[in-house]
Amino acid sequence: MDKEQTFAGVDISKDYLDVTIVDSDKTWRFANNQVGIKKVIKVFKEMASVMVVFESTGGLEISLWLALNQAGINAAPINPRQIRNFAQAKGKLAKTDKIDAQIIAQYGQAMRPNPQLVPDTQELKELMARRSQIVEMIASEKSRLKAARQKLIKQDIHDHIDWLQKRSHETDKELIHAIDVNPVLQEKAKLLRSTPGVGPTTTAALLIQLPELGTLNRHEVAALAGVAPLNRDSGRMRGKRTVWGGRAIVRGILYMSALVATRYNPVINAFYLRLCAEGKAKKVAITACMRKLLIILNSMIKHKTLWQHSTSLVIANCD
């Protein structure tokens, strides 16, 4: 790595990008939007050799990170916990956006992280699509098996199902491996997998099909996934609130996870039993559990919190 390289820190918030150069009084504040990001890129392009360091915030950094990659500027996302530990080690207890940006720049100079590219999820999307195709083929073959009469045909179908199931397991392993070697997705996957009822396949599907997880509030993420109850009113008519729209694939994922969670996840189980005791139909209770589980997962990603029974009820009500 170039010893003369300049290190810049960017503190990223929902509204602003605070930029500073290590050991310098130069600071800038830009809006965290496309116009502001273009201005940030212009600042860095005027520097001969710069490494831009910023916290991996669970989604807010993606637009800037992508723009830096496209401009050919070295960029390194860092786990916020490492930045906090670094600040504490330096005795920097004061906290403002400008101070945070300077600490991030100093971390970059001290640790000299390797530049990283925004993770490409296209391979993961293709793997997930292929897995869905294999699952559909298994279901079709099982239907054909019921209708088959000849012994030879039944054996052929059995053999094909066995082969498809083997390929399904292999595809699951490929998905898990692809996530585990991706530093951004690996961190999120660790959080999701710590939740009772959320397995590796569900984790992969959520990361691929709902990349916004952790960047939205509870109402937005529920509506995006299609598990938010929506009104069906017209004039004086008041219809039942139902869930519709959103991403059908995500709803299917959440449905299967919620079914498992009603048995093995203590929070979801208690929530489900309470709804049933109140007279709610099981289908309505399961849908509510899907929404509750999604809100918890969204909060866990947003706040970088592992599953804990004692705190899950609290984060479930966080935006």
Would you state the pLDDT for residue 239? 44
SS3 228: coil
- Between 1-5, 15-19, 146-150, 209-213, the lowest mean confidence (pLDDT) is in 1-5
Of residues 152 and 90, which shows the higher confidence score?
A: 152
Would you state the pLDDT for residue 111? 93
pLDDT tens digits, one per residue of 139-191: 999 999 999 999 999 999 999 999 999 999 999 999 888 888 776 788 889 99
DSSP 125-145: HHHHHHHHHHHHHHHHHHHHH
CATH domain 6-111 topology: Nucleotidyltransferase; domain 5 (3.30.420)
Highest averaged pLDDT of the listed ranges 29-38, 84-93, 294-303? 29-38
Say whether pLDDT at 247 is over 80.
Answer: no
pLDDT digits (tens, 9 = 90+) for 271-306: 999 999 999 999 999 999 999 999 999 989 888 889
180: number of Cβ within 10 Å: 13
Q: Does the global pTM surpass 0.85?
A: no
Which SS3 state, helix, strand or coil, does residue 94 take?
A: coil
At 232 the pLDDT is: 47
Between 270 and 208, the higher pLDDT residue: 270
Q: Where are the domains of the chain?
A: 6-111, 120-181, 183-319
Structure tokens at 118: 């925004």
First-to-last C-alpha distance (Å) of the chain: 41
Res 238 pLDDT > 70: no
Question: How do residues 179-236 score in pLDDT, each as one tens digit?
Answer: 887 767 888 899 999 999 899 888 988 988 888 788 778 888 888 888 876 444 444 4
Task: Report which DSSP code applies to 61.
Answer: T
Question: Which residue, 196, 227, 194, is CA-closest to 295?
Answer: 227
Nearest to 167 by CA among 138, 201, 203: 138
* Residues β-bridged to residue 238: 233
- With contact defined as beta carbons under 8 Å apart, do 101 and 27 qualify? yes
Whether the per-residue pLDDT at 310 is higher than 70: the answer is no
Tokens encoding 90: 């330096």
227 in helix, strand or coil?
coil
Whether the CB-CB separation of 119 and 75 falls below 8 Å is answered with no
Q: Is the dihedral of CA 310, 312, 313, 314 positive or negative?
A: positive
Least confident of 114-118, 155-159, 268-272: 114-118
**In 10 A of CB 126, how many CB atoms?**
11
Count CB atoms within 10 A of the CB of residue 278: 8
- Dump pLDDT digits (tens) for 93-110: 767 878 889 999 999 999
Helix, strand, coil percentages (3-state) for the chain, rounded to 5, are 60, 10, 30
Between residues 10 and 310, the one the model is more confident about:
10
